[in-house]
Structure 1
């Protein structure tokens, strides 16, 4: 069963060391996402409508909000994967234009050949996370070196001029779609179905779906699930809120539905995810 071996979270975003032996559903993330093989079988991901390999000599590169899935085949051996979810503001400290990592075209291809330097840093970071799970400073230093190597290898970073493009795109969002986005982000648990969301936006279902996906490059359902997942990850890693309360706040009818959603999107049960984040795990019982 797939599970997280270690999770690190900070200003950089998060890094998860995942032991994967089952597929993940089609989903997305609000930050650039890099997948690197640590050990085990060669495997593959579906990025948009393309199957791309993850091997010792390749990295899977996923732009912010780009739909993807882990395309694990039944009976295929497990693979340990280092999954990076990196915040644009953190990257901006290295190069101002690296804030463009939040743009939909930061990576020009969804797969690329790694170097010996990238492979070495991948293994060093994974080893540090396992051997020194509490050494956050060391993890961030290794992650910084790894991300610099990845960006310099796989992006035309010297040509990226993101600020005006991103601001123009943000200012051009249809106010009806912006209203729907604000509702999703502020109270994802209150969004019960897409028809109601379309009505609240003042649009027919078909027009709403078409305009939403044209604007944000993902469907309303995928966007809702991204927001639910990111809020769930934050709450699970934070370690203070019981899972039952997280599930209820995010709109899941039962804790079991929340656990399944989390596993299908994050590659781990919330219990394991919290435990390997160095925090105290809690069960699903109602708090006293």
Structure 2
């Protein structure tokens, strides 16, 4: 069963070392997302409409809010994956226009050929997370070196000023902004997407078309992203029971929440909380 081996969290976002042997459902993240193979079998991800390889020589590169899924095939051996979920504001501390990592075209291609430096830095970071799981400062230092190498090699950050890229990404219809505000305010209370469309003054068909045209994801995927990020924070940082977290996010039963978490995050909530505690309990 797929599970988290280690987790690092901080102002940079989060880094998960995942042992993957089962698919993940189609989902998205509000960060730029980089996947690097550490060991095990070569594998593949579905990004937008393409299936792209994750191997020793290739990285998978996913833009913020870009739908993707882990396309693990039945009987395929497991793969240890270093999954980076990186906050644009943290990257902006290195170069101001790296804040554009939150825009939809930061990585022009969903797959890129790695080099020896990226492969070495990936392994070093993964080993540091295993050896010293609570050393956030060291993890952040190693992650900085890795992300600089990744962006310099793969991102189109020089092509367009960040202000224009971010401005284009933020041009969202006011009714869609109202819908996303409702979802973020209380994702557990949004139980009927058709009712949400009506509440913002749109027919169902128009709402779905306009939502996906504006944000590149369907309303359901957007809502699941919000629920997933709240779930990750609650499981990693909190002490609330999973039943309480489940209820607060609108799941009808804790078992449904556990399945949702595993299908989106790649780990059971129990294991995710356990590896998160390794970080918190260092001192």
Q: How does 1:20-169 map to 2 (within 5 A)?
A: 20-169=20-169
Change (3 A) 1:82 1:117: same
The answer to whether the 8 A contact 1:100-1:160 is kept is no
- Match of 2:44, SS? strand
Work out the number of aligned pairs and report it.
Answer: 280
SS class of match (1:276) = helix
Given the two structures, how large is their TM-score scaled by the length of structure 2?
0.96
Contact 1:98 1:160 in 2 (8 A): no
The CA deviation at 1:201 is 1.2
Which segments of 5 or more consecutive residues in structure 2 lack a partner in the other structure? none
List aligned pairs for 1:275-286, cutoff 5 A.
275-278=274-277
- Output the CA distance in 1 between the equivalents of 2:278 and 2:32: 26
Deviations 1:124-170 (A, max 9, x none): 00000000001111100000000000000001222341224423542
Q: What secondary structure does 1:59 align onto?
A: strand
SS of residue paired to 1:29:
coil
Query: RMSD value over aligned CA atoms?
Result: 1.3
Q: 1:21 to 1:169 in 2, by over 3 A?
A: closer
8 Å contact from structure 1 (residues 41, 77) kept in 2: yes
- Residue 233 (structure 1) aligns with: 232
Secondary structure of the structure 2 residue equivalent to 1:244? helix
Q: Deviation of residue 280 (structure 1)?
A: 10
Q: Deviations over 1:245-288 (max 9, x none)?
A: 1111111011100000000000000110010012699xxxxxxx
The farther-off stretch of 192-201 and 45-54 is: 192-201
Aligned to 2:8, the other structure's residue is in SS state strand
Q: What's the CA shift for 1:240?
A: 2.5
> Paired residue for 1:197?
196
Runs of 4+ in 1 over 4 A off after TM superposition: none
8 Å contact kept, 2:39–2:80:
yes
The answer to whether 1:13 aligns with 2:31 is: no
Partner of 1:286: none
Contact 1:64 1:103 in 2 (8 A): yes
Counterpart of 1:284 in structure 2 is none
The structure-2 alpha-carbon separation of the partners of 1:46 and 1:97, relative to structure 1 and needing over 3 Å to count, comes to same
Q: Distance in 2 between matches of 1:12 and 1:261?
A: 25
Q: What residue in structure 2 maps to residue 207 of structure 1?
A: 206
* Alignment correspondent of 1:249: 248
Q: Which runs of 5+ in 1 are unaligned?
A: 282-288
Q: Contact 2:8–2:279 (CA<8 Å) still a contact in 1?
A: no
Alignment partner, residue 258 of structure 1: 257
